[in-house]
Amino acid sequence: MTEEKVHDIRVDGQQLHVAVRAGQAGRPPLLIINGIGASLELLQPFVAALDPAQGVIRFDVPGVGGSPMPARPYRFTGLCKLIARMLSVLGHSAADVLGISWGGGVAQHFASHQQPRCRRLVLVSTATGATMLPPRPAVLMQMLTRQRYVDNGHLARVAPDLYGGSARAEPARVSETIQDNNRIGPSLGYYYQLTAALGWTSMPFLRRLQQPTLIISGDDDPLIPVANAQMMHRLIPQSRLHIFRGGHLGLVAEAAELAPVVCAFLAAPRFAAELWLTGEPRGELDPGSRAGTAETVEDERGDRRMVAQGRADPAGACQPEPVMEVAGSKQVGRYRDGTAGAGVQRGHRRLDRRLPGGCERRQHRDAELVGQQFRLPAHIHRGLLVGRPGGGQYDGRPGRRP
């Protein structure tokens, strides 16, 4: 297992408790923003299940866990500025950002207001803030206090109705996991988090988010009903919705299932990730790269496929010619400048469709974008493509909305 360094740093006069796991050189780290009242230790099962080559940065929000109270209450804009400066102190110009629950709201705000610092976005069990579809009043009332974090017996009683999923069948185990893996901060820090989100909503800027976005939601989440994830999926242009069977604490209870899904999304080339999300390539690769390339790779079954990584034209969008030519067993797209490469070639799987404007492009299975290194089970392959494991209500066509 890759060694993780847990230490304290100072950012603009604020002490932050951080945990940093080094990853593969040249690969952006995954910055995790936790939920309300939760310290960085709570998501240890998820971090342990991630690809060891994936760098990870976790931190305690001021007033939570090991980070002392801030000098004054804060809002999301101020917190996002602090997070951006924290990345600079840690030596990173940008990161992939994952936010869960309350942290998902911060992640949305960060992606919008600190856009150059966020490469890709993963939103887990979260919503749009004040404009969200709310939970039942009895569930919402439980969020107004942190009693569940300090009273194990109370947590065991409310966990089934509050978190859903595995907490319904094993409330004692779930409550024990939270109690053992969470570091309690001052009570005022919890209320600072509540007031930071008071009146906030991401609705005005969701349609302007530029990052490829993966939205993950449990189908039994009493706290953040799944309809919120579906609404965000409709609003965020480059987004894909993955619904798993579980509740609000999926990253803890279903870490072994969800970690490969997140890893596959983060590791996919930008061109392939955008094709996966929308069915339409959106231009250049990661910042600083403009060369279009096509790589032929061989997977475990000996099948060969071409993964095109895109080329940005002056208009800022990949524009293959209307006609896709077939060279031997490979289907190759031609850009306006004559260079080759479009889509993913599967010799035994040829799914062509015609998009508006006369361009033909092929669909592909999402997990195969990065090969088979994550060894996703077949039902997870299908879940990535159609929106939920084993089938679901979506037809699997890139860019379609539920």
Catalytic annotation, residues: 101
What is the largest distance, in Å, between two alpha-carbon atoms of the chain?
A: 67
Residue that has been written with the tokens 């929308």 in this structure: 278
Full DSSP string of 69-130: PPSS---HHHHHHHHHHHHHHTT-S-EEEEEETHHHHHHHHHHHHTGGGEEEEEEES---BT
Tell me the C-alpha distance between 90 and 273, whole Å: 27
C-alpha distances in Å from residue 83, one per residue of 46, 87, 260 = 21, 6, 26
Instruction: Check if the beta carbon of residue 312 is closer than 8 Å to that of residue 283.
Output: yes
Full DSSP string of 332-364: E-BBTTS-B--SB--TT---EEEPTTS-EEE--
Where b means 16+ CB within 10 Å and e means fewer, 214-243 reads: bbbbbbbbbbbbbebbbbbbebbbbbbbbb
Bridge pairing between strands 30-33 and 213-218: unpaired
Cα 362 → chain centroid = 25
**Partners of 361 in the beta sheet?**
353
Cα 127 → chain centroid = 13
- The Cβ of residue 294 has, within 10 Å, a number of other Cβ atoms equal to 20
247 membership: H or E segment, kind and range: none
99: which residues sit within 8 A by CB, 6+ positions away?
A: 32, 33, 105, 106, 107, 108, 110, 122, 123, 124, 126
Q: Which two tokens stand for residue 312?
A: 């940005």
Counts for the chain of helices (H) and strands (E), in that order: 14, 14
Residue that has been written with the tokens 């590791």 in this structure: 267
